[in-house]
């Protein structure tokens, strides 16, 4: 009996010594054990959600994501002529179908697209004021005015340029909830647009629009100008006839023009820039100058991606929204495909740490406005 007790005591002491030694080693280790998605050793980036839609800003996302994953561009001396001569690139990403056509009387025929009613053609004159629901249209205007004045976008110089400020304040008379710009770090809007004069319609989406507020905003915008007012919104989100009536009714009643866009491909960026630019009275030089600049920058990224991924199986990338689910938008898929990634994980589903460790994505993408901590996003506690 005594012998058994002794053996048990020795074993217990041995276990304690091993545990203590193990704890010491772990706590004093130079490299702490990686947890959660850090185990993947993947490249991680946070991108601006507003720059992942069909706006000129998509080029910023493409460049940032390329730089984060691949590093420097392979060649920086490429020209637009090189881009045009690359038939695959040009036809897939740069040849757009125009949605605007000019008429001899100076007006335009604009193809307005909504999920509720399909495509309609509206005759719209040149407008100088807009009520805008969505950031895509104001961002396009910001790019156009910066191109016109030769100023870098998102630069302090552009935010302090009085011409740009005046233009944005006059043209973007109002629209989506102003607090959204501050909340979601839409810097060019919160820096340039004066909250006091901005006509806030109190919503961020066409689905929750109050027709009366829109009508009031349109009346106020019309009172500020002797020119024409246009209402820009997302046609993709106008998916029922109730949404359609709610968004178009106030425009018809107030004599305001409207244009809805439903882009789902990179090349439709150019259709939107062309349409918004010409409609808002920018010169062809400015409009097509901006388009060519984006096309060239896109080609530099595209060329480098082709070089870097030649004879290699495409790596998987995982792009997660702030809801914790994989994004599934058409533009996100196109962006990943453009950058040479396998986009099979962009299925809109929730992926737990186990499935991601099995799928082994090499590139993890989150949004800058994600409210979670980096530990939560990387499932550090798993």
Write out the residues near another protein by the rule CB under 8 A. 115, 177, 200, 202-203, 205, 207-213, 215-216, 219, 236-237, 239-243, 245-246, 249-250, 252-255, 325, 328-329, 348-350
Q: Could you tell me the smallest distance in angstroms from the CB atom of residue 14 to another protein? A: 51
Residue 309 or 344 having the CB closest to another protein: 344
Q: Could you tell me the smallest distance in angstroms from the CB atom of residue 160 to another protein? A: 29
Residue 237 or 267 having the CB closest to another protein: 237
Residue 46 or 329 having the CB closest to another protein: 329
Residue 55 or 234 having the CB closest to another protein: 234
Contacts of 129 (CB under 8 A, 6+ apart): 170, 171, 173, 221, 222, 224, 225, 227, 228, 229, 230
Q: Could you tell me the smallest distance in angstroms from the CB atom of residue 43 to another protein? A: 25
Q: Could you tell me the smallest distance in angstroms from the CB atom of residue 17 to another protein? A: 50
- Strands across the sheet with 100-102, in order? 100-102, 108-114, 118-124
Q: Give the sign of the dihedral formed by CA 235, CA 202, CA 200, CA 160.
A: negative
Residue 202 or 281 having the CB closest to another protein: 202
Q: Strand, coil or helix: what is 15?
A: helix
How many Å apart are CA 219 and CA 213, to the nearest integer? 10
Q: Could you tell me the smallest distance in angstroms from the CB atom of residue 207 to another protein? A: 5
- Strands across the sheet with 363-367, in order? 43-47, 363-367, 317-319
Q: Look at the chain and count its residues.
A: 382
Encoded tokens for 57: 């800003």
Residue 168 region by backbone torsions, left for phi larger than 0, else alpha for psi between -120 and 50, else beta: alpha
Residue 43 or 328 having the CB closest to another protein: 328
Q: How far apart, in Å, are the Cα atoms of 113 and each of 117, 229, 236, 245, 314?
A: 7, 19, 8, 14, 34
Q: Could you tell me the smallest distance in angstroms from the CB atom of residue 226 to another protein? A: 18
Residue 116 or 314 having the CB closest to another protein: 116
How many Å apart are CA 210 and CA 200, to the nearest integer? 12
Residue 185 region by backbone torsions, left for phi larger than 0, else alpha for psi between -120 and 50, else beta: left
* Cα 88 → chain centroid: 24
Q: Could you tell me the smallest distance in angstroms from the CB atom of residue 143 to another protein? A: 24
């Amino acid at each position: 009996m005594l012998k058994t007790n002794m053996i048990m005591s020795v074993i217990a002491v041995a276990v304690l010594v091993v545990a203590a030694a193990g704890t010491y080693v772990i706590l004093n280790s130079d490299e702490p054990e990686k947890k959660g998605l850090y185990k993947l050793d993947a490249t991680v980036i946070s991108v601006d959600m507003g720059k992942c839609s069909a706006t000129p800003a998509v080029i910023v996302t493409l460049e940032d994501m390329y730089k984060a994953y691949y590093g420097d561009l392979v060649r920086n001396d490429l020209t637009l002529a090189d881009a045009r001569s690359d038939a695959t690139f040009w036809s897939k990403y740069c040849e757009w179908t125009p949605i605007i056509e000019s008429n001899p009387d100076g007006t335009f025929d604009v193809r307005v697209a909504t999920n509720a009613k399909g495509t309609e053609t509206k005759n719209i004159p040149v407008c100088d004021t807009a009520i805008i629901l969505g950031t895509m249209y104001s961002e396009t205007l910001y790019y156009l005015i910066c191109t016109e004045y030769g100023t870098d976008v998102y630069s302090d110089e552009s935010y302090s340029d009085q011409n740009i400020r005046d233009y944005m304040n006059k043209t973007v008379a109002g629209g989506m909830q102003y607090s959204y710009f501050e909340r979601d770090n839409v810097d060019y809007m919160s820096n340039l647009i004066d909250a006091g004069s901005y006509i806030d319609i109190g919503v961020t989406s066409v689905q929750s629009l109050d027709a009366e507020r829109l009508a009031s905003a349109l009346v106020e915008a019309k009172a500020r100008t002797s020119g024409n007012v246009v209402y820009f919104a997302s046609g993709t989100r106008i998916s029922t006839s109730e949404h359609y009536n709610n968004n178009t009714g106030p425009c018809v009643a107030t004599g305001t023009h409207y244009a809805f866009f439903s882009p789902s491909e990179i090349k439709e960026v150019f259709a939107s820039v062309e349409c918004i630019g010409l409609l808002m009275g920018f010169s062809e030089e400015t409009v097509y100058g901006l388009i060519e600049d984006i096309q060239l920058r896109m080609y530099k990224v595209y060329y480098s991606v082709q070089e870097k991924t030649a004879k290699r199986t495409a790596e998987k990338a995982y792009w997660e929204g702030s809801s914790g689910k994989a994004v599934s938008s058409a533009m996100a898929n196109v962006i990943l495909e453009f950058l040479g990634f396998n986009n099979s994980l962009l299925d809109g589903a929730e992926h737990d740490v186990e499935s991601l460790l099995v799928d082994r994505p090499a590139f993890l993408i989150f949004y800058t406005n994600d409210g979670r901590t980096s530990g939560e996003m990387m499932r550090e506690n798993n």
